[in-house]
A and B are shown apart, each in its own frame.
Chain A
Protein backbone atom coordinates (compact mmCIF):
# COMPACT_ATOMS: atom_id res chain seq x y z
CA UNK A 1 0.00 0.00 0.00
CA UNK A 2 1.61 3.26 -1.06
CA UNK A 3 0.96 6.48 0.74
CA UNK A 4 -1.47 7.47 -2.02
CA UNK A 5 -3.81 4.69 -0.94
CA UNK A 6 -3.74 5.54 2.74
CA UNK A 7 -5.84 8.63 3.34
CA UNK A 8 -4.09 9.66 6.52
CA UNK A 9 -5.64 13.14 6.56
CA UNK A 10 -9.10 11.62 6.59
CA UNK A 11 -8.06 9.18 9.33
CA UNK A 12 -6.60 11.99 11.44
CA UNK A 13 -9.99 13.72 11.41
CA UNK A 14 -11.31 10.78 13.45
CA UNK A 15 -8.91 11.54 16.36
CA UNK A 16 -9.84 14.80 18.13
CA UNK A 17 -6.83 14.82 20.48
CA UNK A 18 -4.40 15.06 17.56
CA UNK A 19 -5.68 18.50 16.63
CA UNK A 20 -4.14 20.75 19.23
CA UNK A 21 -1.09 22.89 19.81
CA UNK A 22 1.36 22.19 22.63
CA UNK A 23 3.79 24.93 23.67
CA UNK A 24 2.50 26.89 20.69
CA UNK A 25 3.41 24.17 18.16
CA UNK A 26 1.16 21.63 16.43
CA UNK A 27 1.15 18.38 18.41
CA UNK A 28 3.24 15.60 16.85
CA UNK A 29 2.19 12.59 18.90
CA UNK A 30 4.89 9.90 18.71
CA UNK A 31 4.28 8.12 22.03
CA UNK A 32 1.89 5.51 20.70
CA UNK A 33 3.68 2.59 22.31
CA UNK A 34 2.72 4.15 25.66
CA UNK A 35 -0.88 4.73 24.65
CA UNK A 36 -2.72 5.60 21.45
CA UNK A 37 -5.22 8.40 20.92
CA UNK A 38 -8.91 7.48 20.64
CA UNK A 39 -11.14 7.83 17.60
CA UNK A 40 -14.39 9.77 17.95
CA UNK A 41 -16.37 6.54 17.51
CA UNK A 42 -14.89 5.17 20.76
CA UNK A 43 -15.59 8.42 22.62
CA UNK A 44 -19.15 8.38 21.30
CA UNK A 45 -19.64 4.76 22.41
CA UNK A 46 -18.52 5.54 25.96
CA UNK A 47 -20.84 8.52 26.13
CA UNK A 48 -23.75 6.59 24.63
CA UNK A 49 -23.31 3.75 27.11
CA UNK A 50 -23.36 6.04 30.14
CA UNK A 51 -26.06 8.25 28.66
CA UNK A 52 -28.49 5.58 27.53
CA UNK A 53 -27.68 2.04 28.67
CA UNK A 54 -25.85 2.28 31.99
CA UNK A 55 -26.78 -0.77 34.10
CA UNK A 56 -25.01 -3.73 35.63
CA UNK A 57 -24.46 -6.81 33.51
CA UNK A 58 -25.59 -10.42 33.94
CA UNK A 59 -28.02 -9.67 36.76
CA UNK A 60 -30.89 -7.41 35.86
CA UNK A 61 -34.22 -8.48 34.51
CA UNK A 62 -34.81 -4.93 33.41
CA UNK A 63 -34.28 -3.56 29.94
CA UNK A 64 -31.22 -1.43 30.61
CA UNK A 65 -29.37 -4.36 32.15
CA UNK A 66 -30.29 -6.49 29.16
CA UNK A 67 -28.96 -3.84 26.79
CA UNK A 68 -25.74 -3.43 28.80
CA UNK A 69 -25.22 -7.21 28.95
CA UNK A 70 -25.84 -7.58 25.24
CA UNK A 71 -23.34 -4.83 24.38
CA UNK A 72 -20.77 -6.21 26.81
CA UNK A 73 -21.04 -9.73 25.40
CA UNK A 74 -21.01 -8.39 21.85
CA UNK A 75 -17.68 -6.76 22.67
CA UNK A 76 -16.37 -10.12 23.84
CA UNK A 77 -17.46 -11.71 20.58
CA UNK A 78 -15.80 -8.82 18.73
CA UNK A 79 -12.49 -9.56 20.45
CA UNK A 80 -12.92 -13.24 19.70
CA UNK A 81 -13.21 -12.44 15.97
CA UNK A 82 -10.36 -9.94 16.16
CA UNK A 83 -8.00 -12.60 17.55
CA UNK A 84 -9.65 -15.38 15.54
CA UNK A 85 -10.27 -17.36 18.72
CA UNK A 86 -12.54 -20.40 18.36
CA UNK A 87 -15.02 -19.52 21.10
CA UNK A 88 -16.06 -16.36 22.91
CA UNK A 89 -15.74 -18.14 26.28
CA UNK A 90 -12.00 -18.17 25.64
CA UNK A 91 -11.93 -14.37 25.98
CA UNK A 92 -11.59 -13.03 29.53
CA UNK A 93 -11.91 -9.31 30.16
CA UNK A 94 -9.05 -7.93 32.24
CA UNK A 95 -7.80 -4.44 33.06
CA UNK A 96 -4.96 -4.76 30.60
CA UNK A 97 -1.96 -6.85 29.60
CA UNK A 98 -0.45 -6.62 33.08
CA UNK A 99 -3.56 -8.10 34.66
CA UNK A 100 -3.79 -10.77 31.96
CA UNK A 101 -0.27 -11.94 32.75
CA UNK A 102 -0.86 -11.79 36.51
CA UNK A 103 -4.03 -13.83 36.08
CA UNK A 104 -2.13 -16.63 34.34
CA UNK A 105 0.74 -16.48 36.85
CA UNK A 106 -1.67 -16.69 39.78
CA UNK A 107 -3.86 -19.47 38.42
CA UNK A 108 -2.09 -21.62 35.86
CA UNK A 109 1.27 -20.74 37.40
CA UNK A 110 0.40 -21.48 41.01
CA UNK A 111 -1.26 -24.75 40.06
CA UNK A 112 1.38 -26.03 37.64
CA UNK A 113 4.70 -24.63 38.83
CA UNK A 114 6.60 -26.24 41.70
CA UNK A 115 10.09 -26.37 43.20
CA UNK A 116 12.81 -26.86 40.57
CA UNK A 117 10.51 -25.98 37.68
CA UNK A 118 11.37 -23.26 35.20
CA UNK A 119 9.63 -20.39 33.41
CA UNK A 120 11.24 -19.11 30.22
CA UNK A 121 11.02 -15.45 29.18
CA UNK A 122 13.18 -13.33 26.86
CA UNK A 123 15.56 -10.46 27.58
CA UNK A 124 13.21 -8.16 25.65
CA UNK A 125 10.35 -8.29 28.10
CA UNK A 126 8.49 -5.36 29.62
CA UNK A 127 8.54 -5.40 33.43
CA UNK A 128 4.95 -6.67 33.35
CA UNK A 129 6.15 -9.90 31.73
CA UNK A 130 9.06 -10.28 34.16
CA UNK A 131 7.90 -9.37 37.64
CA UNK A 132 4.76 -11.62 37.87
CA UNK A 133 6.96 -14.61 36.94
CA UNK A 134 9.66 -13.59 39.41
CA UNK A 135 7.03 -13.40 42.14
CA UNK A 136 5.68 -16.80 41.14
CA UNK A 137 9.15 -18.36 41.01
CA UNK A 138 10.02 -16.96 44.42
CA UNK A 139 6.83 -18.30 45.93
CA UNK A 140 7.08 -21.75 44.33
CA UNK A 141 10.86 -22.26 44.47
CA UNK A 142 11.05 -22.24 40.68
CA UNK A 143 13.63 -20.55 38.43
CA UNK A 144 13.26 -17.87 35.77
CA UNK A 145 15.31 -18.54 32.62
CA UNK A 146 15.98 -15.69 30.21
CA UNK A 147 16.57 -16.07 26.46
CA UNK A 148 19.31 -13.62 25.39
CA UNK A 149 18.98 -11.03 22.62
CA UNK A 150 21.69 -9.97 20.18
CA UNK A 151 23.06 -6.50 19.42
CA UNK A 152 20.27 -5.81 16.95
CA UNK A 153 17.67 -6.63 19.59
CA UNK A 154 16.64 -10.00 18.10
CA UNK A 155 15.80 -12.98 20.26
CA UNK A 156 18.37 -15.79 20.03
CA UNK A 157 16.06 -18.63 18.99
CA UNK A 158 18.85 -21.24 19.13
CA UNK A 159 19.59 -20.31 22.73
CA UNK A 160 15.85 -20.43 23.40
CA UNK A 161 15.64 -23.96 22.05
CA UNK A 162 18.49 -25.00 24.36
CA UNK A 163 16.77 -23.41 27.37
CA UNK A 164 13.62 -25.48 26.91
CA UNK A 165 13.82 -28.55 29.11
CA UNK A 166 11.61 -31.09 30.85
CA UNK A 167 11.56 -28.64 33.77
CA UNK A 168 10.02 -25.83 31.67
CA UNK A 169 6.42 -25.24 32.72
CA UNK A 170 5.64 -22.13 30.67
CA UNK A 171 7.13 -19.79 28.08
CA UNK A 172 6.07 -16.13 28.26
CA UNK A 173 7.29 -13.76 25.54
CA UNK A 174 6.36 -10.45 23.97
CA UNK A 175 5.04 -10.47 20.41
CA UNK A 176 6.59 -7.04 19.78
CA UNK A 177 9.19 -5.35 22.00
CA UNK A 178 7.96 -2.08 23.46
CA UNK A 179 11.46 -0.69 23.91
CA UNK A 180 13.03 -1.68 20.59
CA UNK A 181 10.16 -2.55 18.25
CA UNK A 182 11.51 -6.03 17.49
CA UNK A 183 8.85 -8.38 16.12
CA UNK A 184 9.59 -11.66 17.88
CA UNK A 185 9.30 -14.90 15.85
CA UNK A 186 6.64 -16.21 18.22
CA UNK A 187 5.20 -18.73 15.78
CA UNK A 188 8.52 -20.62 15.68
CA UNK A 189 8.99 -20.25 19.42
CA UNK A 190 5.51 -21.62 20.10
CA UNK A 191 6.12 -24.62 17.82
CA UNK A 192 9.43 -25.36 19.59
CA UNK A 193 7.79 -25.15 23.02
CA UNK A 194 4.90 -27.36 21.97
CA UNK A 195 7.34 -30.01 20.79
CA UNK A 196 8.22 -30.32 24.48
CA UNK A 197 4.62 -30.01 25.60
CA UNK A 198 5.20 -26.54 27.08
CA UNK A 199 2.40 -23.96 26.87
CA UNK A 200 3.17 -20.41 25.69
CA UNK A 201 1.79 -17.03 26.75
CA UNK A 202 2.19 -14.15 24.30
CA UNK A 203 2.25 -10.56 25.58
CA UNK A 204 0.52 -8.82 22.70
CA UNK A 205 0.43 -5.30 24.17
CA UNK A 206 2.55 -3.80 21.39
CA UNK A 207 1.37 -6.07 18.60
CA UNK A 208 -2.37 -5.74 18.15
CA UNK A 209 -2.37 -2.18 16.82
CA UNK A 210 0.34 -2.97 14.25
CA UNK A 211 -0.20 -6.44 12.85
CA UNK A 212 -2.88 -9.05 12.33
CA UNK A 213 -3.04 -11.54 15.18
CA UNK A 214 -4.53 -15.00 14.72
CA UNK A 215 -4.29 -17.01 17.92
CA UNK A 216 -5.30 -20.24 16.20
CA UNK A 217 -2.70 -19.86 13.45
CA UNK A 218 -0.08 -19.02 16.10
CA UNK A 219 -1.41 -21.88 18.24
CA UNK A 220 -0.45 -19.91 21.37
CA UNK A 221 -2.00 -21.04 24.64
CA UNK A 222 -2.54 -17.56 26.06
CA UNK A 223 -2.55 -14.15 24.36
CA UNK A 224 -3.17 -10.91 26.20
CA UNK A 225 -3.37 -7.25 25.21
CA UNK A 226 -4.44 -3.81 26.45
CA UNK A 227 -7.27 -1.86 24.85
CA UNK A 228 -5.67 1.55 25.32
CA UNK A 229 -2.71 0.71 23.08
CA UNK A 230 -5.15 -0.21 20.30
CA UNK A 231 -7.28 2.97 20.24
CA UNK A 232 -9.61 1.78 23.02
CA UNK A 233 -10.13 3.08 26.56
CA UNK A 234 -7.67 2.61 29.42
CA UNK A 235 -8.48 0.04 32.10
CA UNK A 236 -9.74 -2.67 29.76
CA UNK A 237 -7.98 -5.48 27.93
CA UNK A 238 -8.42 -9.12 27.15
CA UNK A 239 -6.83 -12.45 27.89
CA UNK A 240 -7.32 -15.25 25.39
CA UNK A 241 -6.74 -18.76 26.72
CA UNK A 242 -7.38 -22.13 25.16
CA UNK A 243 -10.60 -23.41 26.69
CA UNK A 244 -9.09 -26.68 27.92
CA UNK A 245 -6.41 -24.75 29.84
CA UNK A 246 -8.84 -22.17 31.24
CA UNK A 247 -11.12 -25.01 32.37
CA UNK A 248 -8.30 -26.59 34.37
CA UNK A 249 -7.25 -23.35 36.00
CA UNK A 250 -8.58 -22.31 39.40
CA UNK A 251 -10.26 -18.91 39.65
CA UNK A 252 -8.13 -15.95 40.71
CA UNK A 253 -10.21 -13.25 42.33
CA UNK A 254 -13.33 -14.29 44.19
CA UNK A 255 -16.56 -12.33 44.29
CA UNK A 256 -19.78 -11.73 42.46
CA UNK A 257 -20.33 -12.92 38.88
CA UNK A 258 -17.64 -15.63 39.13
CA UNK A 259 -19.92 -18.03 41.01
CA UNK A 260 -22.91 -20.25 40.29
CA UNK A 261 -23.93 -20.74 43.90
CA UNK A 262 -22.53 -19.73 47.25
CA UNK A 263 -23.11 -21.22 50.67
CA UNK A 264 -20.84 -21.07 53.70
CA UNK A 265 -20.01 -24.73 53.13
CA UNK A 266 -19.30 -24.67 49.41
CA UNK A 267 -19.14 -22.33 46.45
CA UNK A 268 -19.61 -23.55 42.90
CA UNK A 269 -17.64 -21.49 40.41
CA UNK A 270 -19.15 -20.12 37.26
CA UNK A 271 -18.41 -21.34 33.74
CA UNK A 272 -15.87 -19.78 31.42
CA UNK A 273 -15.14 -16.98 31.03
CA UNK A 274 -17.07 -15.65 34.06
CA UNK A 275 -15.03 -17.78 36.45
CA UNK A 276 -12.25 -15.21 35.91
CA UNK A 277 -14.40 -12.07 36.00
CA UNK A 278 -15.17 -11.34 39.64
CA UNK A 279 -17.01 -8.13 40.40
CA UNK A 280 -18.63 -5.58 38.14
CA UNK A 281 -16.37 -5.27 35.09
CA UNK A 282 -15.39 -2.16 33.13
CA UNK A 283 -18.52 -2.43 31.00
CA UNK A 284 -18.12 0.88 29.18
CA UNK A 285 -14.46 0.08 28.55
CA UNK A 286 -15.29 -3.30 27.04
CA UNK A 287 -17.87 -1.73 24.74
CA UNK A 288 -15.40 1.02 23.79
CA UNK A 289 -12.73 -1.58 23.06
CA UNK A 290 -15.11 -3.43 20.76
CA UNK A 291 -15.72 -0.21 18.84
CA UNK A 292 -11.97 0.49 18.68
CA UNK A 293 -11.39 -2.94 17.12
CA UNK A 294 -14.22 -2.26 14.65
CA UNK A 295 -12.42 0.93 13.72
CA UNK A 296 -9.06 -0.79 13.36
CA UNK A 297 -10.42 -3.61 11.24
CA UNK A 298 -12.47 -1.15 9.21
CA UNK A 299 -9.17 0.37 8.10
CA UNK A 300 -7.72 -3.11 7.63
CA UNK A 301 -4.69 -4.38 9.54
CA UNK A 302 -2.81 -5.28 6.37
CA UNK A 303 -3.11 -1.67 5.24
CA UNK A 304 -2.07 -0.47 8.71
CA UNK A 305 1.02 -2.70 8.67
CA UNK A 306 1.96 -1.58 5.15
CA UNK A 307 1.55 2.12 5.92
CA UNK A 308 3.45 1.87 9.22
CA UNK A 309 6.17 -0.03 7.38
CA UNK A 310 6.60 3.03 5.14
CA UNK A 311 6.71 5.32 8.17
CA UNK A 312 9.31 3.06 9.82
CA UNK A 313 11.51 2.99 6.72
CA UNK A 314 11.30 6.77 6.34
CA UNK A 315 11.93 7.44 10.04
CA UNK A 316 14.83 4.97 10.20
CA UNK A 317 16.51 6.65 7.24
CA UNK A 318 15.74 10.16 8.50
CA UNK A 319 17.04 9.57 12.04
CA UNK A 320 20.11 7.71 10.81
CA UNK A 321 21.08 10.76 8.79
CA UNK A 322 20.92 13.15 11.77
CA UNK A 323 24.50 13.68 12.99
CA UNK A 324 25.03 12.28 16.49
CA UNK A 325 21.84 10.20 16.50
CA UNK A 326 22.18 6.46 16.97
CA UNK A 327 19.34 3.93 16.75
CA UNK A 328 19.08 1.24 19.41
CA UNK A 329 17.27 -1.87 18.17
CA UNK A 330 17.82 -2.66 14.52
CA UNK A 331 16.06 -5.99 14.14
CA UNK A 332 15.24 -7.05 10.59
CA UNK A 333 11.60 -7.47 11.46
CA UNK A 334 10.35 -4.41 13.35
CA UNK A 335 7.21 -2.54 14.26
CA UNK A 336 7.25 1.25 13.89
CA UNK A 337 9.14 1.94 17.13
CA UNK A 338 12.47 3.77 17.15
CA UNK A 339 14.61 3.92 20.26
CA UNK A 340 17.49 6.34 19.84
CA UNK A 341 20.31 8.20 21.52
CA UNK A 342 21.63 11.68 20.85
CA UNK A 343 25.37 11.83 21.36
CA UNK A 344 26.25 13.71 24.55
CA UNK A 345 22.64 14.48 25.47
CA UNK A 346 20.63 12.50 28.01
CA UNK A 347 17.30 11.10 26.81
CA UNK A 348 15.36 13.26 29.28
CA UNK A 349 16.89 16.42 27.96
CA UNK A 350 16.05 15.23 24.44
CA UNK A 351 12.46 14.54 25.55
CA UNK A 352 12.05 17.98 27.14
CA UNK A 353 13.40 19.84 24.11
CA UNK A 354 11.30 17.80 21.65
CA UNK A 355 8.23 18.49 23.79
CA UNK A 356 8.88 22.23 23.53
CA UNK A 357 8.79 21.72 19.75
CA UNK A 358 5.43 19.96 20.02
CA UNK A 359 6.89 16.47 19.54
CA UNK A 360 5.77 13.96 22.19
CA UNK A 361 8.17 11.02 22.68
CA UNK A 362 8.95 8.77 25.60
CA UNK A 363 12.29 9.14 27.37
CA UNK A 364 13.53 6.65 29.90
CA UNK A 365 13.91 2.91 30.36
CA UNK A 366 10.45 2.13 28.90
CA UNK A 367 9.66 -0.25 31.78
CA UNK A 368 12.24 -2.58 30.31
CA UNK A 369 15.30 -1.96 32.49
CA UNK A 370 16.95 -5.29 31.54
CA UNK A 371 16.82 -4.24 27.87
CA UNK A 372 18.60 -1.00 28.76
CA UNK A 373 21.16 -2.93 30.82
CA UNK A 374 21.75 -5.28 27.86
CA UNK A 375 22.79 -2.29 25.76
CA UNK A 376 24.70 -0.62 28.62
CA UNK A 377 22.28 2.32 28.71
CA UNK A 378 20.28 4.07 31.41
CA UNK A 379 17.69 5.49 29.05
CA UNK A 380 16.76 6.11 25.42
CA UNK A 381 14.35 8.40 23.67
CA UNK A 382 11.63 6.51 21.82
CA UNK A 383 9.45 7.60 18.93
CA UNK A 384 6.60 5.16 18.32
CA UNK A 385 4.21 5.52 15.41
CA UNK A 386 0.56 4.71 14.80
CA UNK A 387 -1.66 4.54 11.74
CA UNK A 388 -2.48 8.28 11.99
CA UNK A 389 1.08 9.58 11.95
CA UNK A 390 2.37 11.27 8.81
CA UNK A 391 5.60 11.54 6.89
CA UNK A 392 5.58 15.28 7.68
CA UNK A 393 5.64 14.41 11.38
CA UNK A 394 8.87 12.50 10.83
CA UNK A 395 10.29 15.68 9.30
CA UNK A 396 9.07 17.60 12.37
CA UNK A 397 10.89 15.10 14.61
CA UNK A 398 14.11 15.53 12.65
CA UNK A 399 13.79 19.30 12.75
CA UNK A 400 13.14 19.21 16.52
CA UNK A 401 16.29 17.11 16.92
CA UNK A 402 18.10 20.01 15.30
CA UNK A 403 16.91 22.14 18.22
CA UNK A 404 18.48 19.66 20.62
CA UNK A 405 21.81 20.27 18.92
CA UNK A 406 21.25 24.04 19.03
CA UNK A 407 20.59 24.01 22.77
CA UNK A 408 23.39 21.65 23.67
CA UNK A 409 25.86 23.00 21.12
Chain B
Protein backbone atom coordinates (compact mmCIF):
# COMPACT_ATOMS: atom_id res chain seq x y z
CA UNK B 1 0.00 0.00 0.00
CA UNK B 2 2.91 2.39 0.63
CA UNK B 3 3.64 3.06 -3.05
CA UNK B 4 -0.04 3.76 -3.58
CA UNK B 5 -0.04 6.21 -0.68
CA UNK B 6 3.00 7.87 -2.22
CA UNK B 7 1.12 8.19 -5.51
CA UNK B 8 -2.24 9.26 -4.14
CA UNK B 9 -1.13 11.74 -1.51
CA UNK B 10 -3.78 13.82 0.25
CA UNK B 11 -2.73 16.94 -1.64
CA UNK B 12 -3.30 15.14 -4.94
CA UNK B 13 -6.67 13.74 -3.87
CA UNK B 14 -7.69 17.20 -2.66
CA UNK B 15 -6.73 18.89 -5.94
CA UNK B 16 -8.53 16.13 -7.85
CA UNK B 17 -11.72 16.72 -5.89
CA UNK B 18 -11.48 20.51 -5.92
CA UNK B 19 -9.21 21.53 -8.77
CA UNK B 20 -7.93 25.13 -8.53
CA UNK B 21 -8.21 27.46 -11.52
CA UNK B 22 -10.68 25.08 -13.19
CA UNK B 23 -12.37 27.76 -15.30
CA UNK B 24 -12.17 29.81 -18.47
CA UNK B 25 -10.24 33.05 -18.68
CA UNK B 26 -12.09 36.12 -19.94
CA UNK B 27 -9.29 37.22 -22.23
CA UNK B 28 -6.64 34.55 -22.66
CA UNK B 29 -3.74 35.50 -24.90
CA UNK B 30 -2.50 31.92 -25.20
CA UNK B 31 -4.60 28.75 -25.53
CA UNK B 32 -3.70 25.13 -26.20
CA UNK B 33 -5.42 21.76 -26.08
CA UNK B 34 -3.80 18.51 -25.01
CA UNK B 35 -4.85 14.91 -25.03
CA UNK B 36 -3.62 11.54 -24.02
CA UNK B 37 -5.16 9.39 -26.76
CA UNK B 38 -4.55 6.07 -25.04
CA UNK B 39 -6.59 6.98 -21.98
CA UNK B 40 -8.85 9.63 -23.47
CA UNK B 41 -7.76 12.37 -21.06
CA UNK B 42 -8.29 15.80 -22.59
CA UNK B 43 -7.68 19.25 -21.28
CA UNK B 44 -7.26 22.83 -22.39
CA UNK B 45 -4.98 25.40 -20.83
CA UNK B 46 -5.58 29.14 -21.11
CA UNK B 47 -2.95 31.71 -20.23
CA UNK B 48 -2.99 35.45 -19.94
CA UNK B 49 0.61 36.20 -20.88
CA UNK B 50 1.69 39.82 -20.52
CA UNK B 51 5.25 41.00 -21.14
CA UNK B 52 6.44 37.40 -20.94
CA UNK B 53 4.85 36.87 -17.52
CA UNK B 54 1.96 34.48 -16.74
CA UNK B 55 -0.61 36.92 -15.27
CA UNK B 56 -3.35 34.29 -15.07
CA UNK B 57 -3.66 30.65 -16.03
CA UNK B 58 -6.60 28.22 -15.93
CA UNK B 59 -7.53 24.80 -17.25
CA UNK B 60 -10.58 22.71 -18.13
CA UNK B 61 -11.15 19.16 -19.22
CA UNK B 62 -11.49 15.63 -17.94
CA UNK B 63 -9.01 13.04 -16.79
CA UNK B 64 -7.77 10.86 -13.98
CA UNK B 65 -6.85 12.08 -10.51
CA UNK B 66 -3.18 12.44 -11.40
CA UNK B 67 -3.79 14.54 -14.51
CA UNK B 68 -6.39 16.78 -12.83
CA UNK B 69 -4.31 17.34 -9.73
CA UNK B 70 -1.23 17.99 -11.83
CA UNK B 71 -3.06 20.59 -13.92
CA UNK B 72 -4.46 22.20 -10.78
CA UNK B 73 -1.11 22.43 -8.98
CA UNK B 74 0.61 23.57 -12.17
CA UNK B 75 -1.74 26.53 -12.61
CA UNK B 76 -1.19 27.53 -8.98
CA UNK B 77 2.57 27.28 -9.44
CA UNK B 78 2.95 29.09 -12.74
CA UNK B 79 1.02 32.25 -11.95
CA UNK B 80 3.46 35.16 -11.86
CA UNK B 81 6.28 33.17 -13.46
CA UNK B 82 7.97 34.06 -16.73
CA UNK B 83 7.79 31.68 -19.70
CA UNK B 84 11.50 30.88 -19.17
CA UNK B 85 10.90 30.07 -15.51
CA UNK B 86 7.96 27.84 -16.47
CA UNK B 87 10.21 25.96 -18.86
CA UNK B 88 12.86 25.31 -16.24
CA UNK B 89 10.24 24.17 -13.68
CA UNK B 90 8.85 21.78 -16.25
CA UNK B 91 12.32 20.35 -16.88
CA UNK B 92 12.88 19.75 -13.18
CA UNK B 93 9.38 18.28 -12.84
CA UNK B 94 9.93 15.94 -15.76
CA UNK B 95 13.31 14.93 -14.36
CA UNK B 96 11.67 14.07 -11.03
CA UNK B 97 9.17 11.76 -12.77
CA UNK B 98 11.51 9.98 -15.13
CA UNK B 99 15.01 9.90 -13.64
CA UNK B 100 16.47 6.50 -12.84
CA UNK B 101 17.17 7.63 -9.27
CA UNK B 102 15.00 9.79 -7.03
CA UNK B 103 16.05 13.41 -7.55
CA UNK B 104 16.23 16.39 -5.22
CA UNK B 105 12.73 17.85 -5.16
CA UNK B 106 13.33 20.82 -2.83
CA UNK B 107 13.25 23.38 -5.62
CA UNK B 108 9.86 22.13 -6.81
CA UNK B 109 7.90 23.12 -3.71
CA UNK B 110 4.37 21.69 -3.69
CA UNK B 111 4.96 19.99 -7.04
CA UNK B 112 7.14 17.48 -5.18
CA UNK B 113 3.95 15.60 -4.21
CA UNK B 114 4.16 14.00 -7.65
CA UNK B 115 7.51 12.33 -6.87
CA UNK B 116 5.66 9.02 -6.28
CA UNK B 117 4.59 8.92 -9.94
CA UNK B 118 8.15 7.82 -10.76
CA UNK B 119 7.25 4.36 -9.45
CA UNK B 120 4.35 4.15 -11.92
CA UNK B 121 5.83 4.59 -15.42
CA UNK B 122 2.44 4.19 -17.12
CA UNK B 123 1.16 7.23 -15.21
CA UNK B 124 3.95 9.69 -16.09
CA UNK B 125 1.91 10.82 -19.10
CA UNK B 126 -0.99 11.68 -16.81
CA UNK B 127 1.19 13.92 -14.65
CA UNK B 128 2.79 15.70 -17.61
CA UNK B 129 -0.23 16.25 -19.87
CA UNK B 130 -1.06 19.67 -18.40
CA UNK B 131 2.59 20.71 -18.60
CA UNK B 132 2.97 19.71 -22.23
CA UNK B 133 -0.20 21.65 -22.97
CA UNK B 134 0.95 24.74 -21.09
CA UNK B 135 4.28 24.69 -22.91
CA UNK B 136 2.45 24.51 -26.22
CA UNK B 137 0.30 27.47 -25.18
CA UNK B 138 3.37 29.48 -24.18
CA UNK B 139 5.04 28.60 -27.46
CA UNK B 140 1.94 29.71 -29.36
CA UNK B 141 1.46 26.26 -30.88
CA UNK B 142 -1.86 25.86 -32.66
CA UNK B 143 -1.93 22.07 -33.09
CA UNK B 144 -3.31 20.06 -30.13
CA UNK B 145 -0.61 18.36 -28.07
CA UNK B 146 -0.59 14.61 -27.76
CA UNK B 147 1.37 12.64 -25.21
CA UNK B 148 1.83 9.82 -27.73
Q: Chain A residues in contact with chain B, CB under 8 A? A: 23, 345-349, 352-353, 356, 363-365, 369, 372, 378-379, 403, 407-409
Checking B7, B8, B40, B122 against A369 with a beta-carbon cut-off of 8 angstroms, the contacting residue is: B40
The reply to whether B4 and A348 contact each other, CB–CB distance below 8 Å, is no
The reply to whether B65 and A379 contact each other, CB–CB distance below 8 Å, is: no
B20 located at the interface, meaning its Cβ lies under 8 Å from any Cβ of chain A in the complex: no
**How many residue-residue contacts, CB under 8 A, span A and B?**
53
Min C-beta distance of B86 to chain A, whole Å = 26
Interface residues of B (CB under 8 A from A): 1, 3-5, 7-8, 13, 38-42, 62-66, 120, 122-123, 126
CB–CB A408/B8 < 8 A? yes
A378 and B4 contact, CB distance less than 8 A:
no
CB distance from A362 to the nearest CB of B (A): 11
User: Which residues of chain B are within 8 angstroms of A23 by Cβ–Cβ distance?
Assistant: 3
Closest to B5 in A: A407
Pick the contact of B39: A379, A403, A407 (CB < 8 A). Answer: A379
Indicate if the CB atoms of A352 and B7 lie closer than 8 Å.
yes
Q: Among B3, B4, B7, B40, which residue has its beta carbon within 8 angstroms of that of A379?
A: B40
Q: Are A407 and B4 in contact (CB under 8 A)?
A: yes
A364 near B8: Cβ-Cβ < 8 Å: no
**Cβ of B64: which chain A residues have Cβ within 8 Å of it?**
346-349
Most chain A Cβ neighbours within 10 Å, of B3, B8, B38: B8
Cα-based distance from A372 to B40 in the complex (angstroms) = 10
A contact face: mostly helix, strand, loop, or mixed: helix
B residues less than 8 Å from A408 (CB atoms): 8, 13, 65
- Least Cβ–Cβ distance between A367 and chain B, in angstroms: 10
Q: Which residues of B contact A379 (CB under 8 A)?
A: 39-40
Are B40 and A407 neighbours in the complex by a CB distance under 8 Å? no
Asked if B13 and A348 make an inter-chain contact with CB atoms under 8 angstroms apart, the answer reads no
A378-B42, A379-B39, A409-B13 given; 4 more Cβ-contact pairs under 8 Å: A348-B126, A349-B64, A353-B8, A364-B38
Closest-CB distance, A125 to chain B (whole angstroms): 17
A345 touches B65 (CB 8 A): yes
B3 pairs with A356, CB closer than 8 A: yes
- What's the nearest-Cβ distance from chain B to residue A314, in Å? 27
Listed A/B pairs (13) with beta-carbon separation below 8 Å: A23-B3, A348-B39, A348-B66, A348-B126, A349-B65, A349-B66, A352-B7, A364-B39, A372-B40, A378-B41, A378-B42, A407-B8, A408-B13
Contact A348 B123 (CB under 8 A): yes
Whole-angstrom CA separation of A119 from B67 in the bound complex: 39
Q: Report Cα–Cα, A378/B122, bound state, in Å.
A: 18
Q: Which of A352, A363, A378 has the most chain B CB within a 10 Å cutoff?
A: A352
Tell me, rounded to whole Å, the shortest Cβ–Cβ distance linking A345 to chain B: 7
- Give Cα distance in the complex from A409 to B17, angstroms: 11
Residues of chain B contacted by A353 (CB below 8 angstroms): 4, 8
CA distance A408 to B38 in the complex (A): 23
The smallest beta-carbon distance between A342 and chain B, in angstroms, is 12
| A352 and B123 in contact, given A346-B64, A378-B62, A408-B13 (Cβ under 8 angstroms) | yes
Q: Which residue of A lies closest to B126 (CB)?
A: A348
Minimum Cβ distance to chain B for residue A170 (Å): 28
Contact between B8 and A363 (Cβ–Cβ < 8 Å)?
no
Q: Which of A352, A363, A364 contacts B120 (CB 8 A)?
A: A352
CB-CB under 8 A from A356, the residues of chain B are: 1, 3-4
Q: How far is the CA of A378 from the CA of B43 in the complex (A)?
A: 12
**Cα–Cα, bound, A408→B4 (Å):** 11
Q: How far is the CA of A349 from the CA of B1 in the complex (A)?
A: 14
A365 touches B1 (CB 8 A): no
Chain A hits for B38, CB < 8 A: 364
Please name all residues of chain A whose beta carbon is closer than 8 Å to the beta carbon of B62 when the two chains form the complex: 378
Residues of B within 8 A of A347 (CB): 39, 64
Nearest chain B CB to A78 CB, angstrom units: 35
Q: A225–B93 Cα gap in the complex (Å)?
A: 44
> In the assembled complex, how far is the CB of residue A291 from the closest CB belonging to chain B, in whole angstroms?
32
B33 CB to closest chain A CB (Å) equals 15
Contacts of B65 in A (CB 8 A): 345-346, 349, 408
Q: Closest CB of chain A to B136's CB: distance in Å? A: 21
Shortest distance from the beta carbon of A324 to any chain B beta carbon, whole Å:
15
CB closest chain-A residue, reference B41? A378
